[in-house]
Amino acid sequence: MFLTDCAYELPSLCLLLVCCLSNNYLRMDKLNVIGSLREITRQMEMLDALFRHATEGIIVVNSEGTIVMLNPMAVELFGYQQMELKSLKIEDLIPARFAAKHVQHRGNYFAEPKARGMGSQMELYAKRSDGSEFPVEVSLSPFQTSEGQFVVGFVIDITERKKQEKRILEANLEIQKLNAELEERVQQRTIELAKAIRAVEESQQEVVRALEKERELNQMKSQFVTIASHEFRTPLATILSSSSLIGKYTATQDDDKRQKHIQRIKSTVTNLTEILNDFLSIGKLEEGKMQNIPVLIDYNEFCINLIDEASGLCKEGQKIHFKYEGKPQVWLDKQLLRNVLFNLLSNAIKYSSEHKQIFFKTAARAESVCIQIQDQGIGIPENDQRHIFDRFFRANNAGAIQGTGLGLNIVKSYIELMGGTVTLSSQLGMGTSFAVSLPLTVPVELAAEHV
């Protein structure tokens, strides 16, 4: 009667138990019976106190899932009046989205009942009388009576725990966010520091380059003074001597002698002009004022005219042999090309003795021009060949042959300005050969017209 009509009437249960026990002990000693009844009553009172004052909700259900007993804390947790719980199913205290599956879970549990906890590995929610939900932790314990199988459930409202966990989670997320921001700031500062270090290193490199440039400039000035004092003094002395002698040759029969000295003056002036042009070219290259401006030229005719000009420098018995292959017109910078070819041809003439031959071969291909200028001159020592394009460098066997050591340096700079390359091969006493390759560059606007 107690299990079906009442939520928590343990005193009535105690009275029933006392009556039953009284009938069984009619033949026992009266004092023993009274003592036993008092002990039973005391234990039942303690059990009733534990049941009523427990801080956990206690719910007892039968095998059909009907609530048969619950303590005051359970009534408080779920917000029902005591009589409202009569005949309720345990699924009535579970959110609707879980209730259907819970019927099956309940059946499975009663098929194999055992004490166990719930909620440690999953989120459990209970439903109050007003429909609101709250998180719970539940533990189950089955027991058997003469009326059948029952399960007692201990329910704990873990709302505050969840709130605390949420606060901890939010705090952890905030800490993670702060850590991420700190790491980002550290990374940013590291990048900024690396940039600053690179800037300092670049500044140091610029200072080193500037100092090196200044050192080279000072060296160049010193070398220029040395060369100028030698290369200028001798030609000027020649001009002065020849001009003085011309003044003495007044007679008509002395005309050949006058012409000889006039030619010496012209040749000397030409040499001085070349020296000055070399220094002017170096200055323009250093200042970045030289530009590669390709134009369409009749390359074969250009080479022939240049050979005629250079032939005036040839010594007795010397001759320039010319061979041309390929298309007649090419796109190249006319002035840069002239300076390169004239310098190489004049060197071939200057460093070759009388009756030695100079060979000039060129081929104009679809995308490049190949040039080879070969002489039968004194050649270049093997140890000097790797320095031959250095500024102010002259081979050890150059001797008294006039030169500034700038010509080949300028040639290489002009060729590189045109995007080309230059190589040499030389054998001492046998001659030297220079090979030049220049790419043909059609102006962008003209190339677009032919696309």
CA–CA separation, 202 vs 204, rounded Å?
5
Name the β-bridge partners of 320.
358
Could you tell me if 137 and 118 are in contact, meaning their C-beta atoms sit under 8 angstroms apart? yes
**C-alpha distances in Å from residue 52, one per residue of 5, 60, 395:** 17, 14, 117
- pLDDT, one tens digit per residue, over 279-312 is 666 667 767 777 888 999 999 999 999 999 888 8
| pLDDT at residue 380 in the model | 94
Estimate to the nearest angstrom the gap between the alpha carbon of 39 and the chain centroid.
85
3 state SS of 223: helix
| pLDDT at residue 18 in the model | 44
- Is the C-alpha dihedral spanning 23, 24, 30, 35 positive or negative? negative
CA neighbor of 330 nearest in space, from 407, 421, 437: 437
Q: Which two tokens stand for residue 218?
A: 């000072």
**C-alpha distances in Å from residue 332, one per residue of 133, 298, 411, 418, 449:** 89, 10, 15, 8, 19
- pLDDT, one tens digit per residue, over 99-120 is 888 888 888 888 888 988 876 6
- Where in 355-445 does DSSP place strands (E)? 357-364, 368-374, 421-427, 431-439
Q: 109: burial class by Cβ within 10 Å (0-12, 13-18, 19+)? A: middle
Kindly indicate the confidence band of residue 228, based on its pLDDT and cuts at 50, 70 and 90.
Answer: low
| pLDDT at residue 322 in the model | 96
DSSP assignment of 100-141 equals HHHHHHHHHHHHS---EEESSSS-EEEE-TTS-EEEEEEEEE
Task: Kindly report the three-state secondary structure assignment for every residue of 256-305.
Answer: HHHHHHHHHHHHHHHHHHHHHHHHHHHHHHHHCCCCCCCEEEEHHHHHHH
pLDDT at position 197 over 80: yes
* Percent of residues, the chain, with pLDDT higher than 90: 36
Q: Among 8-17, 88-97, 284-293, whose mean pLDDT is lowest?
A: 8-17
Kindly indicate the confidence band of residue 21, based on its pLDDT and cuts at 50, 70 and 90.
Answer: very low
CA neighbor of 136 nearest in space, from 82, 237, 59, 206: 59
Average pLDDT of span 139-160: 91
Task: Give the H/E segment covering residue 425.
Answer: strand 421-427
* Percent of residues, the chain, with pLDDT higher than 70: 77
| pLDDT at residue 450 in the model | 47
pLDDT at position 48 over 90: no
pLDDT at position 316 over 50: yes
Q: Among 125-139, 316-330, 358-372, 399-413, whose mean pLDDT is lowest?
A: 399-413
pLDDT at position 260 over 50: yes
Place of tokens 């779920």: 78
Name the β-bridge partners of 426.
432
3 state SS of 27: coil
Name the pTM for this structure. Answer: 0.48
Task: Give the H/E segment covering residue 406.
Answer: none
Q: At what angle do helices 407-417 and 255-287 cross, to 10 degrees?
A: 50
Kindly indicate the confidence band of residue 16, based on its pLDDT and cuts at 50, 70 and 90.
Answer: very low
Q: Among 194-203, 212-221, 436-445, whose mean pLDDT is lowest?
A: 212-221
Q: Among 81-95, 97-111, 375-389, whose mean pLDDT is lowest?
A: 81-95
> Beta strand 368-374 with 431-439: parallel, antiparallel or unpaired?
antiparallel
Could you tell me if 51 and 73 are in contact, meaning their C-beta atoms sit under 8 angstroms apart? no
Q: Which two tokens stand for residue 407?
A: 């010509």
Q: Which two tokens stand for residue 1?
A: 């009667």
Average pLDDT of span 192-201: 90
Mean pLDDT of all residues in the chain? 81
Q: Among 14-28, 143-157, 306-320, whose mean pLDDT is lowest?
A: 14-28
**C-alpha distances in Å from residue 362, one per residue of 4, 300, 323:** 120, 9, 6
pLDDT at position 334 over 80: yes
Residue type, 362: T
CA neighbor of 195 nearest in space, from 180, 184, 187, 183: 187
CA neighbor of 416 nearest in space, from 333, 344, 342, 347: 333
Instruction: Identify which has the larger pLDDT, 163 or 84.
Output: 163
Q: Which residues contact 343 (CB under 8 A, 6 or more apart)?
A: 407, 408, 410, 411
